[in-house]
Chains A and B, each alone.
Chain A
Amino acid sequence: MNAAASTRAGKLLSIRDLAVQYRTGRGIVDAVRGVSFDVEPGKVTAVVGESGSGKTTVAQSVIGLLASNGSIARGEIELNERRLGTTSLVGLPERRWQDLRGRCIGLIPQDPGNSLNPVKTIGRSISESLRIHGRPSREEVRERVLALLEQVGIDDPERRAKQYPHEFSGGMRQRVLIAAAIANDPELIIADEPTSALDVTVQRTVLDLIDRLRRESGTGVLFITHDLAVAAERADHVVVMRGGEVQEQGPSERVLAHPEAEYTRQLIADAPAFGDVVVRERVAVRDRAVEPGEAAPSVERAEVALPVERAERVETLDPLLRVQHLRQVFGRGSDAFVAVDDVSFDVPRGTTHAIVGESGSGKTTTGRAVAGFARPTSGSVTIGGVDVTGLRGRALREFRRGTQLVYQNPYGSLDPRQSIGQTLAEPLRNFSIGTRSDRDDRVAHALELVALPAEFAHRRPRELSGGQRQRVAIARALIVEPELVVLDEAVSALDVTVQAQILRLLAQLQSELGLTYVFISHDLSVVRQISDTVSVLQHGEQVEFGDSARVFENAQHPYTRRLIEAIPGRRAPTWMI
């Protein structure tokens, strides 16, 4: 260690006053302005922020992979590397970067689906950086690859190393990428949203793995995430970013227990894992057993005494929506794939039923069958006493007036060429609701309902942010005054603060208009807040159904318990809240 390094003794990575600019068609954009923080060896520093906060840009400058139109305007990044001591990472020639990347800095990318070369075996992908950084003998490389695969918890490494990425699940691919990142024992690992694309249970095991490797090897971790709960659980030091600037930083306990910046407080208040984002009147629904005479579904439906004091109102009405033995098979013959197998639930009017599961569990398929966009192979969906599974033509159109679907992706569900006003007026015209002159008023009213100004009617979708578009999508669903709204991951693509706003809006609209929701989500912390009853799906099978308070407190099925345990922030230290 030379003299310069001793002044910042103990720091592995130190960033001082970093500013990054992007040249774009519309002039220069300051993506990062004056960011300073450190990463210590063996510790995790988490950079938290919403989309557009500049957190990924910081990570890219540390590993020298800024987009070609980006440049470091000022500031200093120093890495205290083992072999050469303190090295400044600003303005390094590409040749030096090639030496540093992989050997000193490992990167775990965001999307495990696209980050592995599909025509190379897993073994070759991992050994690439070993060969680049000079491990000569073939035998040595092979042994190291197998050891790495074993280290990241992949069974049967000999066989797995010869397989291709498509033979691995998302979580397994992320393990492979972690193995590749740590192949040369780097001093610093940059994990850029390493688990955002993964299911919660997989997310947890991957994060545990990164934790374990860090402890064992003393590697410093720069952890980029949008999820404050994940940061709280895993990081020693938290840096909260917004608009390219650091809002607040410090030890995680301090930042989360006593946030100083207004923005941090808001983030904590809006994070569903930490507290009540939505205050809504809960409707306790008695866990109705299946009516006598019907075949009992294979679902565990324990009759649990309701904690009556938590319920303001006990619903005794007949269900608005009744799904019975729903089964959906795609394909035929030997290719047949059972997406949904024997799912049954009732949703009383004015309540929210959540369908929870990981990707591939059949929750979206179930939602689409309820909304009339898919014809189930067998089983029935009854809404207001009418079986909707066989509807066609005119009857199907009439049915859509009562049941609306809101999609996950607000960027895809609005026609880019139509103004918001046209989009909202379309269902009115289709269903001949109101007169021509009356429609403008109804559009304005619908915008008001979702808290958007009336002049938005003249805008196009591209002039709106993601959260605003999702409000428009909700307004389009509500303008026909439906009884039932199916929300398919409707808040999953949004930043937490926007997500919290939409959730509040949904709760408010429900109490004002008496809407019934089917809320499809993978995020249990959101589901816990917004739902009255919940179904848990695993591989198309309904493993749990019941009152959500009961399910969250006393889950019967091991899978449900695993899902609940995997909610980030649940294991957050006790100083929280």
Chain B
Amino acid sequence: MTAITETPMPDGAPHPTGAPQRTGPARSARGGGSRSAIRSVLRPGVLIPAVVLLVALAWAVAPGLFTSVSPTAQVGEALQGPGAEHWFGTDSTGRDLYSRVVHGASQSISAALVAVLVGLVFGSLIGIAAGAVGGRVDGVLMRLVDVLLAIPALLLSLSVVILLGFGTTNAAIAVGVTSVAVFARLARSQVVSVRASEFVEAAYGSGGTFWSVLLRHVLPNSLTPVIALAALQLGSAILQISTLGFLGYGAPPPTPEWGLLIAEGRDYVATAWWLTTLPGLVVVAVVVATNRLSQSIGRGSDSAGRGR
């Protein structure tokens, strides 16, 4: 650390030296920041989940690039095992399972995104309102959130989907509703802790109004962990939507949705293992990958926070 040996500060001179040993590393950190960011992305713990997710996203966006076979057409003999022609084998009506999984990605992932968006938006709004206003508003909103948390997630999403009617979008909204409480709690705790910090009080001291301080200081400093949670929720949303699909509350057949694929295969577990196992593995891989990545986001924001 070269900065530590800096010359003594001139006495009362215009040159503003505080404790120079602090500026040195901070300044060099700016240069090293991008390099270390690249290095951290290249770690296998980050790289592999990133590749898995990218592939899944590519399936969702452009399934035609990965398979030319229609997901709903009968292309071969029923219940063929995995092979060179049909990578994941064929199902009971002779449809190509690999193509169905690829095309199913858009169903499952877009539904998961909708679910997370619902949870993120409504949850954050509730949490921010509760944390920023405080007092009675906080009490009422948080008790509502407690009620939401008290109902098991699956039961809640089933109730919502029955109220709204079956279908992919409705299933997504139902899953989103179950995560509102988690987002609200986290957003509130962040807002409350940031609101207590000195720079927020100093902002009021500089003549800030409630709204300007909230928008300029409180929200930017409290939402990073909420974003990290959104990434984490993406994985569990895929899982929950597949669950609803499996139970028959999601997309109607013959839509290739991941949960539905597994459900369709369960009658053949004994004879055609690939019908449940392979789509199941894909779901597991994507969920684990999002969890890993959101952990990295969380850790990254942690160390950025410590650098303050």
Chain A interface residues (CB < 8 Å from chain B): 25-26, 29-31, 50-52, 243-245, 262-263, 266, 269, 371, 373, 397, 400-401, 404-405, 407, 409, 411-418, 426-427, 430-431, 450-453, 461-471, 473, 476, 480, 494-495, 497-498, 501, 504
**Contact across chains for B16 and A468 when beta carbons are under 8 A apart:** yes
**B8 engages A413 (CB within 8 Å):** no
Residues of A within 8 A of B308 (CB): 411, 416, 461-462
Further 18 A-B residue pairs, CB within 8 A, beyond A51-B19, A412-B199: A26-B28, A31-B1, A51-B21, A373-B204, A414-B202, A417-B220, A426-B216, A430-B206, A430-B207, A430-B212, A463-B27, A464-B26, A465-B20, A468-B16, A469-B18, A471-B16, A497-B8, A498-B9
Task: Chain A residues near B12: list those with CB within 8 A.
Answer: 501, 504
Complex Cα spacing A397 to B208, Å: 8
B300 CB to closest chain A CB (Å) equals 13
Q: List 8 A-B contacts (CB under 8 A).
A: A26-B32, A266-B8, A266-B11, A430-B207, A463-B27, A465-B20, A465-B23, A473-B202
Closest chain A residue to B218, Cβ basis: A415
Instruction: Tell which of A416, A426, A453 touches B221, judged by Cβ atoms closer than 8 Å.
Output: A416
In B1-19, the 8 Å CB interface with A consists of 1, 4-6, 8-9, 11-12, 14-19
CA distance A450 to B221 in the complex (A): 27
Also in contact, A371 and B205, with CB within 8 A (given A415-B199, A463-B27): yes
* Chain B residues within an 8 Å CB radius of A463: 23, 26-27, 30
**Is B136 in the interface zone, CB < 8 Å from A?**
no
| Alpha-carbon gap, A405 to B199, bound state (A) | 11
Q: How many interface residues does B have (CB within 8 Å)?
A: 45
Residues of B within 8 A of A431 (CB): 207
| CB <8 Å contact, A412 and B207 | no
Minimum Cβ distance to chain A for residue B195 (Å): 13
**Bound CA span A472–B231, Å:** 37
**Assembly CA distance A416 to B224 (angstroms):** 13
Whole-angstrom CA separation of A471 from B14 in the bound complex: 12
A241 to B: closest C-beta gap in Å: 11
Take A26-B29, A417-B221 as given contacts and tell me if A427 and B20 are in contact as well, using a CB distance cutoff of 8 Å.
Answer: no
Q: With A26-B28, A462-B26 as known contacts, state yes or no: A426 contacts B203, CB within 8 Å.
A: yes
B85 located at the interface, meaning its Cβ lies under 8 Å from any Cβ of chain A in the complex: no
Q: How far is the CA of A203 from the CA of B210 in the complex (A)?
A: 42
Residues of B near A409 (CB, < 8 A) are 198
Q: Which residues of A contact B16 (CB under 8 A)?
A: 450-453, 467-468, 471
With contacts A50-B19, A415-B217, A416-B308 known, is A397 near B199, CB below 8 A?
A: no
Chain B 162-215 residues near chain A, CB threshold 8 A: 197-199, 201-209, 212
Q: Which residue of the partner chain B has the closest CB to A433? A: B207
Render B12-55 as a binary contact track against A, CB cut-off 8 A, 1 for contact.
10111111111101111110100010000000000000000000
- Chain A residues whose CB sits within 8 angstroms of the CB of B29 once the complex forms: 26
Asked if A26 and B199 sit within 8 Å, CB to CB, the answer is: no
Residue with the highest number of chain B CB atoms closer than 10 Å, among A29, A430, A469, A498: A430
Q: How far is the CA of A26 from the CA of B26 in the complex (A)?
A: 11
Residues of A with C-beta under 8 A to B6: 243
Question: In the complex, what residues of A have CB within 8 A of residue B30's CB?
Answer: 463
Q: Report how far A232 CA is from B22 CA in the complex, Å.
A: 27
State A464–B221 Cα separation when bound (angstroms): 19
What residues on A are CB-neighbors of B206 within 8 Å? 400, 426-427, 430, 476, 480
CA distance A31 to B29 in the complex (A): 18
Q: Is the CB of B19 within 8 A of A25?
A: no
B307 at the interface (CB under 8 A from A): yes
B21 touches which of A52, A397, A405, A414 (Cβ 8 Å): A52
Q: Which residues of A contact B1 (CB under 8 A)?
A: 29-31
Within 8 A of A (CB), among B214-232: 216-217, 220-221
Contacting pair A397 B207 (CB below 8 A): yes
- When C-beta atoms are compared, the residue in chain B nearest to A243 turns out to be B4
Interchain CB contact under 8 A, B221 and A415: yes
Contact A498 B19 (CB under 8 A): yes
Residues of A within 8 A of B15 (CB): 451
Which residue on chain A has the smallest CB distance to residue B194? A415
| 10 smallest beta-carbon distances between A and B, as pairs | A467-B18, A465-B18, A430-B207, A427-B206, A416-B308, A465-B22, A243-B4, A52-B21, A468-B18, A412-B198
Nearest-Cβ distance from residue B224 to partner chain A, whole angstroms: 10
Which of A413, A468, A504 is within 8 Å of B198, CB to CB? A413
How many angstroms from the CA of A430 to the CA of B11 in the assembled complex? 36
Contact of B19 among A397, A404, A427, A467 (CB under 8 A): A467
Whole-angstrom distance between the alpha carbons of A179 and B29 in the complex?
A: 43
Separation in Å of the A271 CB from the closest CB of chain B? 14
Query: Considering the chains assembled together, what is the distance between the CA atoms of A401 and B221 in angstroms?
Result: 25
A413-B28 contact given A466-B22, A480-B206, CB 8 Å threshold: no
Shortest C-beta distance, B303 to chain A (Å), equals 9
Task: Report the minimal beta-carbon distance from B133 to chain A, rounded to whole angstroms.
Answer: 16
**Closest Cβ–Cβ distance, residue B198 to chain A (whole Å):** 4
Q: Which residues of chain B are within 8 angstroms of A430 by Cβ–Cβ distance?
A: 206-209, 212
**Shortest Cβ distance from residue B271 to the other chain A in the assembled complex, whole angstroms:** 55
